[in-house]
Chains A and B, each alone.
Chain A
Amino acid sequence: MRLCEVAELTQAEVLTGKELLDREVDKGCGADLLSDVLSVVEENFLLITGMVTPQAVRVAEVMNAAAVLIVRGKCPQDPVIAYADEAGIPLLATQKGMFETCGLLYSRGLRPTRFRRVSEYAG
């Protein structure tokens, strides 16, 4: 699925990265808890989050995510958008909630990312 299709499907506004909307994403990860994003073992996924803090974008950058889709109509502050722009991470924002957003994208074929298994952590 291309990012422009993600935007269309979720009626999302593109906050930055309009020129990158041809980018393909085939996996999605929904989370507000950023440590769960840090245990994804794949790249180029769509990060779906209700967080509009700078950390959401920085986590996406560190994990080589393809884009960030912000849910629930939240809009990050200008410095966060500017940072995403500079980091080359498209930022999209939808009015829809996390549940509906994940539901729509999943039903259109976006697949879940794989995570590091919790059992692997056993100290």
Chain B
Amino acid sequence: MSPSTPAKRGRLLYRRTFYVPAGAIADVGAVSTQVRRILRGLGVEPEVVRRVSIICFEGETNIAIFTKGGRITLMVWEDRVELFFSDSGPGIEDLELVRRPGYSTAPDWARELGFGAGMGIPNMEKNADVFVLRSRPGKGTAIRATVWRSRDERKGSGAGTRA
């Protein structure tokens, strides 16, 4: 996947930052459901809403389970929706491993709550048109996921939304 920055075009329509505390497992999904409602309220295309919500769900799960806390910024542009995830560590040691379906370092308590199947990063990557992950072990991880709003630029194989 190309890590290129989306060309700067289109106007920023909406921006909001959400905070996800460490271990806030009971609240997982709270940000993505809010994001979904915001996007629907702004009239964003249903397939884009769906993809962004899925990406957000996986991202906030990761922040809550694995990190010391972090934040998620939603940016809605005329031509795209972007989610920016950042956390305060501990970072990811092996970036190739976390992209591998089924790889998981989730603790047992997380698995018993229905998390930790090792599909988080792969599912985020699959639903994004542009996915950039940077991590510094010991410092933290930053992820930018972009979903294009125009059908032409969007991935063809994506989550189908029934007409």
Contact = CB atoms under 8 A, between A and B. Distances in A.
Establish whether A and B are touching in the complex (CB under 8 Å). Answer: yes
Interface of A: 32-36, 38-39, 41-44, 51, 53-56, 58-59, 61-64, 87, 116, 118, 120-123
Interface string B123-162: 1011000000000000000000000000000000101111
Contacts of A121: 101, 119, 122-123, 125-126
Interface of B: 26-30, 32-33, 36, 50, 53-54, 57-58, 96, 99-101, 113-115, 117, 119-120, 122-123, 125-126, 157, 159-162
Contacts of A53: 26, 113-114
Contacts of B28: 54-55, 58
Contacts, number: 85
A29 B126 CA distance: 20
Nearest to B58: A38
Contacts of A35: 58, 115, 117, 119-120, 123
